[in-house]
Amino acid sequence: DLGTLDVLVNNAGIEAFCHFAELPLDRIEETIRVNLTSALNLTRLVVPHMLAAGRGHVVNMSSTAGKLGPPFGAVYATTKAGLIAFTQSIRSEYRNRGLSASVICPGFADDGGIYDRMKAESGRHSPPFVGSTTADRVARAVIRAIEKDCPEIIVNSPPLRPIAVLMQMFPALGASLVRVASARFLKRVADSQRL
């Protein structure tokens, strides 16, 4: 018996910023399994307990990559976009049964994690336009999402929501901005991953 489960935070994640045509198939599968399938499976196991209790909140840790689809990050961005859609579906499906869901979309976290390794391996920081965040800001966003039942919070400085909106309204222009802003840094990261 799991007892009462009030909150589930799906935070498992690995990156795969590589040249897509060179990415081994097993690495694609591993990234999908860790970033997306594990969240779906764990949530599937927890939701019945939350529904039985009449309350619960699922928080999925996505990424700004799931909103913007950066170059050299096709698999990673796909899994993170999947978490955004999954959150929207769960939120909509169980809204009137006491269960809700939120998605957090952080940018590069400056104080640990994937971004530190990317900086070390590429010898560069992300461009200022792309921005970053901190683990503390992400943690505060998780708490805010649960307390205020926010559907989605993008945690990045400078704010990237205007770019995400621009991409929805003008896909070609938005995609060009993302490519120009991030391609050089992410190409260096991808080049550092070559075997």
Question: Do 43 and 93 touch, CB atoms closer than 8 A?
Answer: no
Give dist(CA 33, CA 97) in Å, integer: 29
Q: 3-class DSSP state for residue 12? A: coil
- Which residues in 34-65 are b (16+ Cβ under 10 Å) and which e? ebbeebeeebeebbeebeeeeebbbbbbbbbb
CA 50 to centroid of chain Cα atoms: 23
Give dist(CA 43, CA 140) in Å, integer: 22
Give dist(CA 106, CA 86) in Å, integer: 17
Q: Compute the residue count for the chain.
A: 195
75-to-88, 115, 140 alpha-carbon distances in Å: 20, 17, 27
Report how far apart the first and last C-alpha atoms of the chain are (Å, whole number).
46
Residues labelled catalytic: 76
Q: Structure tokens of 167?
A: 């991409």
